[in-house]
Amino acid sequence: MTVDRSLIERFHRVLVEEIRAQAPRYLSSPFTVAEIYQSLVPYRTHRDRIGVELNGDYEEALLHLLAGEGDYLELESEPARRRLQREAEAQNPDTAIFREFAAVDVRLNPKKVPEKDTPELRLEVDTPDPPAPAGPRAEEGPKSSARAAKGGGGPSAGSGPKGTPEASGAAASPLEAVPDQGRGDAERLPSRGERKAGASKSTAGGDDVPGDCPECSTALPPREGLRFCPWCGENVHVVPCGECGEVLDRDWAFCIACGSPSAA
């Protein structure tokens, strides 16, 4: 069964972007199949970026990606790769079969990893030139003289003309800091085992909100109506099945896909 090649390319591009943001070590080291659909690019949070509307379309694209289409990913288990290839070529494939190989290691093909975008260049292109500084107003002269007479001869912050080098340097500094914002807490991606071990049953903002995020295990703030983790952006009201990875509501007792008891 064929899949739109552009969909597979988008899936791979989004996966590489998330690896760079969450776990840069995975650019050169293996990770598990389960981490792709549970932590790196889950369907519920990345379907718009990937360009899919249904979970079945997401699973089908990931199946072909893991089967080796486009040579984007390399499975470290040859039997698993052959099994996924046969299923991807079937007339009516089981698109979720890759969940049977959740613990299999996979790595990025370094020859297919796109070059990293340079945020600084995008800022220089997208940021319009600042307006020309306005001429000094007539009343500034008397005010400056009055300040000098009172002993406040030193210039205050922002009192110089807008076009001075000092003002230009101060205006440029926020742009230099933009690429580093929001990356400090996401440097290390916790494994599924660590998330299970660190998960807490205490509540943060109500009886149906966990004390810790089920994805990144970070303590949640006590905020009423909290739905998404402020640290990783995951929906805190759903958890993955510990056996097959299916997304479950927190109050469900059993998995709807494999029937295993829910850890929530």
pLDDT at 58: 96
Among 161, 240, 231, 131, CA closest to 189: 231
Q: Is the pLDDT of residue 56 over 80?
A: yes
Structural domain boundaries enclosing 19: 5-111
Q: Cα(68)–Cα(84) distance, rounded to whole angstroms?
A: 9
Domain presence at residue 125:
no
- Same domain for 103 and 194? no
Mean pLDDT of 153-158: 45
Q: Is the pLDDT of residue 30 over 80?
A: yes
Q: Is the pLDDT of residue 116 over 80?
A: no
Domain presence at residue 182:
no
Domain presence at residue 91:
yes
Q: Cα(201)–Cα(190) distance, rounded to whole angstroms?
A: 18
Q: Is the pLDDT of residue 23 over 90?
A: yes
Strand-pair category, 73-75 with 105-108: antiparallel
Task: Kindly report, residue by residue over 175-207, the tens digit of the pLDDT.
Answer: 444 444 444 444 455 444 444 444 444 444 445
Q: How confident is the model at residue 211 (pLDDT cuts 50, 70, 90)?
A: confident
Domain presence at residue 87:
yes
Domain boundary among 67, 89, 111: 111
Q: Residue 52 contacts by C-beta under 8 Å, 6 or more apart in sequence?
A: 7, 43, 58, 61
Q: How confident is the model at residue 114 (pLDDT cuts 50, 70, 90)?
A: confident
Domain presence at residue 99:
yes
pLDDT at 224: 79
Domain boundary among 52, 84, 111: 111
Domain presence at residue 150:
no
Q: Cα(260)–Cα(264) distance, rounded to whole angstroms?
A: 12
Decide: helix, strand or coil at residue 135. Answer: coil
Domain presence at residue 104:
yes
Domain presence at residue 166:
no
- Helix-strand-coil percent breakdown of the chain, rounded to 5? 45, 10, 45
- Same domain for 106 and 198? no
pLDDT at 258: 83
Number of domains in the chain: 2
Mean pLDDT of 55-82: 95
Q: Cα(109)–Cα(249) distance, rounded to whole angstroms?
A: 35
pLDDT at 6: 92
Mean pLDDT of 205-214: 68
CA atoms lying within 13 Å on the CB side of residue 122 = 6
Domain boundary among 66, 96, 111: 111
pLDDT at 206: 47
Segment (H or E) for 249: strand 247-249
Task: Kindly report, residue by residue over 213-259, the tens digit of the pLDDT.
Answer: 877 778 888 887 787 888 777 787 777 777 777 777 878 888 888 88
